[in-house]
Structures are given as structure tokens and as C-alpha cells.
């Protein structure tokens, strides 16, 4: 059993990267990918745990993109996190996130909410500030009853304080990921803002843009959703991926490898992703090609 999607405290999870490695080993997962939002910063500490654990530790990232005017998350798995160009590109995305956060604070203040970036940062120990941290602060202030309500009423796509994220396109994300030697996958189709696409059509479009596959297994899918997305992957000739999207205490009830209890992702999923890694880009062979 594997898990190819989780977050550390370097984005909006609450676990240290080392703790994720140790937990996955204790759960006897064959592989675990760390996929923090728009940052590679947790990966050196995560991968440094490899000698201590049997679980294979896989480098990854979850990039915030926009597709047809809506938020869409693209996962890059098996990426070379030391690739200089890739790192520079991710730094640029990070700068755009910081600008979004400043605007989000202004929007909330204009609604009469007494919030600032410093206070939101107290929820984000490793520096990257996400809307998850805004949601926790808004709940702590009693402005909303809980985090999901913060997204529904204020900071989610239909909320009154919503600020759209940067304009990274799935095409661009796929190219960056391929150039860093990884595979590009749509995260959690059918969840969050991405819920309103007609997936049959949207996926074949994304496939033309270079996306390799999507999460057919997900921590919060029911059996019918899993079946639908597995069949869609087979029909389109795209790769199924999957993970729990574990965030520690920031998303209670989700467990590594198991999701809400019934998640079971076969090892063959990672083997197929591995086989699909680009062998070369612009005539330059990636280092793992012998
Ligand atoms: P950001 O990357 O800062 O835009 O924040 C996005 C994160 O907020 C996602 O990765 C989820 O963890 C969380 N999120 C987004 N939409 C919702 C929602 N409707 N309910 C709960 N959490 C959400
Ligand atoms: Mn998140
Ligand atoms: Mn996501
Ligand atoms: Mn995620």
C-alpha cells in the first residue's frame, strides 16, 4: 500500500517531514510522497530520512493552477527537487502567493474583520502561508464556527473575500514538472473548486496539455467516485494516482495511507508512474536514464 499525497508543516500540514517518514514506516506503507503546496522546502529533510525507514520516500509538490477560470491543483511526483530551473520557477510562484495573501488580508479588513498577516503567520510555523492558516485564524477569532465555514463564507471560491490565485496554467505546470523529470497529475478531481468540471471532457483537454494522469484514489472519495475515475483513466489512457491528502491536525479524520479508513492504493500505481517519467527533454537525457 502506498500514499502519494500528503502535506508537512512546510505548507499547511502540521507534521514535521521526519514525522511523516516515521509514521509511514510504522504503517508499513511501501511508499509515501510529500507534496507540499508550492514549495520544495520540506523535501531535503523528508528524503534525508530514507536510510532510517523501509518506506520509499518520494519527492513531490502540489502546484496551484487555474484552468478555465477555476482553481486546479497539479501534483508533480518523482521530481528532481534540486533542479535549479525548477526551484527558481517555484520561488516565483511563492512570490505570487505572498501577493495573494496581502490582498486577502486587505479584502477581509474591508469586510470589517480585524486580521493581519502576522497573526495568520502564527499558524504557519515554516513560513508558507496558506488559506488553511487563514481559516484557522478566522475560526479562532470566532468569525466562523470552523475552517470549512471559513472557506464557504469568506475565502473559498464563492466566498465574499475570495482572491484568485496566480495564473499558472496546467500546461505550464506540466512542462515544469516534466523538465524536472517528474510526472504531472491532476489532484483530487471532483473536490474543492475543481468540482464543477465535466471531467470526461476536461481530462482529455488536460491530457493534450501534457498532464499524465490524475488521482483516481483519494482520501475523501467514496467507492463510486474511485470507480468512476479509475474507469475514466483507463478509457483515456491516462495514469491513475492517489493519496490521502493527509494534513495532520489541519484536516482531522484523515490518516496517512488510509484516508477516512478505506483507502487502499496498490504499489503498481507508483510502478506505472515511474515507467512514465520523461526520459529526456529537448534532447537532454535525465540522469536516471541509463
Ligand atoms: P491556498 O493554497 O493558500 O490557496 O489554500 C488552499 C488549501 O486550502 C487547500 O490545499 C486545502 O487544504 C484548503 N481548502 C481549499 N478549499 C477548501 C474548502 N472548500 N474547504 C476546506 N479546505 C479547503
Ligand atoms: Mn492544503
Ligand atoms: Mn489540493
Ligand atoms: Mn493536497
Parallel, antiparallel or unpaired: strands 284-285 and 280-281: antiparallel
Phi, psi angle pair for 82, to nearest 5°: -100, -5
Answer whether 246 contacts ligand 1 (Cβ < 6 A): no
> How far does the centroid of ligand 4 lie from the alpha carbon of residue 65, in Å?
13
Tell me how far apart the alpha carbons of residues 119 and 121 are, in angstroms, rounded to a whole number.
5
E strands present in 78-164: none
Answer whether 192 contacts ligand 1 (Cβ < 6 A): yes
Phi, psi angle pair for 173, to nearest 5°: -60, -45
Q: Say if 160 falls within a structural domain.
A: no
Q: Say if 243 falls within a structural domain.
A: yes
Give Cβ neighbours of residue 230 (< 8 Å, ≥ 6 apart): 216, 240
The pLDDT of residue 288 is 59
Tell me how far apart the alpha carbons of residues 260 and 201 are, in angstroms, rounded to a whole number.
29
CB atoms near residue 250 (< 10 Å): 21
> How far does the centroid of ligand 3 lie from the alpha carbon of residue 290, in Å?
34
Residue 163 grid coordinates:
482572491
Identify the residue whose C-alpha is closest to ligand 1 atom 9. 132
> How far does the centroid of ligand 3 lie from the alpha carbon of residue 246, in Å?
10
- DSSP annotation of 55 reads S
For 107-146, the pLDDT digits (tens) are 999 999 999 999 999 999 888 999 999 999 999 999 999 9
Q: Say if 57 falls within a structural domain.
A: yes
Identify the residue whose C-alpha is closest to ligand 1 atom 6. 131
Q: Say if 163 falls within a structural domain.
A: no
> Within the chain, which residues score under 50 in pLDDT?
290
Identify the residue whose C-alpha is closest to ligand 1 atom 2. 130
**Angle at alpha carbon of residue 34, lines to 28 and 35, rounded to 5°:** 140
Q: Say if 185 falls within a structural domain.
A: yes
Q: Reading across the β-sheet that carries 183-186, which strands appear in turn?
A: 2-3, 31-34, 56-67, 70-77, 183-186, 213-218, 239-243
The SS3 of residue 33 is strand
Tell me how far apart the alpha carbons of residues 209 and 192 are, in angstroms, rounded to a whole number.
22
Residue 207 grid coordinates:
491530457
| Nearest ligand to residue 189 Cα | 3
> How far does the centroid of ligand 3 lie from the alpha carbon of residue 259, in Å?
14
Tell me how far apart the alpha carbons of residues 120 and 108 are, in angstroms, rounded to a whole number.
12
Tell me how far apart the alpha carbons of residues 109 and 70 are, in angstroms, rounded to a whole number.
24
The answer to whether residues 223 and 204 belong to one domain is yes
Answer whether 130 contacts ligand 1 (Cβ < 6 A): yes
Answer whether 229 contacts ligand 1 (Cβ < 6 A): no
CA 216 to mean position of chain CA atoms = 14
Domain of 145, CATH number, reads 1.10.150
Residue-number span of the structural domain to which 134 is assigned: 92-155
Q: How many residues does the chain have?
A: 290
Answer whether 245 contacts ligand 1 (Cβ < 6 A): no
The answer to whether residues 66 and 179 belong to one domain is yes
203, 238 Cβ separation under 8 angstroms = yes
The answer to whether residues 174 and 244 belong to one domain is yes
Answer whether 156 contacts ligand 1 (Cβ < 6 A): yes
Answer whether 39 contacts ligand 1 (Cβ < 6 A): no
For 158-175, the pLDDT digits (tens) are 999 999 876 799 999 999
The answer to whether residues 75 and 206 belong to one domain is yes
Number of domains in the chain: 2
Tell me how far apart the alpha carbons of residues 244 and 264 are, in angstroms, rounded to a whole number.
10
Q: Say if 24 falls within a structural domain.
A: yes
Domain of 272, CATH number, reads 3.20.20.140
Amino acid at each position: 500500500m502506498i500514499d502519494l499525497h500528503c502535506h508537512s508543516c512546510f505548507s499547511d500540514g502540521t507534521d514535521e517531514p521526519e514525522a511523516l517518514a516515521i509514521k509511514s514506516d510504522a504503517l508499513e506503507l511501501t511508499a509515501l510522497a510529500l507534496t507540499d503546496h508550492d514549495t520544495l522546502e520540506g523535501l531535503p529533510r523528508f528524503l534525508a530520512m530514507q536510510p532510517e525507514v523501509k518506506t520509499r520516500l518520494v519527492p513531490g509538490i502540489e502546484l496551484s493552477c487555474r484552468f478555465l477560470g477555476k482553481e486546479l491543483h497539479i501534483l508533480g511526483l518523482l521530481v528532481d527537487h534540486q533542479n535549479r530551473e525548477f526551484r527558481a520557477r517555484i520561488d516565483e510562484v511563492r512570490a505570487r502567493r505572498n501577493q495573494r495573501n496581502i490582498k486577502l488580508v486587505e479584502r477581509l479588513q474591508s469586510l470589517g474583520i480585524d486580521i493581519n498577516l502576522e497573526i495568520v503567520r502564527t499558524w504557519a510555523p515554516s513560513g508558507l502561508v496558506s488559506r488553511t492558516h487563514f481559516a484557522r485564524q478566522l475560526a479562532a477569532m470566532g468569525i466562523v464556527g470552523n475552517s470549512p465555514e471559513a472557506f464557504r463564507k469568506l475565502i473559498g471560491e464563492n466566498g465574499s473575500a475570495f482572491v484568485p490565485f496566480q495564473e499558472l496554467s496546467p500546461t505550464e505546470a506540466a512542462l515544469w514538472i516534466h523538465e524536472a523529470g517528474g510526472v504531472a497529475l491532476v489532484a483530487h478531481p471532483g473536490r474543492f473548486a475543481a468540482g464543477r468540471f465535466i471531467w470526461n471532457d476536461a481530462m482529455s483537454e488536460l491530457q493534450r496539455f501534457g498532464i499524465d494522469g490524475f488521482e483516481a484514489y483519494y482520501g475523501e472519495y467514496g467507492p463510486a467516485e474511485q470507480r468512476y475515475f479509475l474507469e475514466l483513466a483507463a478509457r483515456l489512457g491516462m495514469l491513475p494516482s492517489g493519496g490521502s491528502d493527509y494534513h495532520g491536525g489541519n484536516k482531522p479524520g484523515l490518516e496517512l495511507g488510509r484516508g477516512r479508513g478505506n483507502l487502499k492504493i496498490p504499489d503498481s500505481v507508483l510502478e506505472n508512474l515511474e515507467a512514465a517519467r520523461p526520459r529526456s527533454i529537448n534532447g537532454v537525457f535525465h540522469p536516471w536514464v541509463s
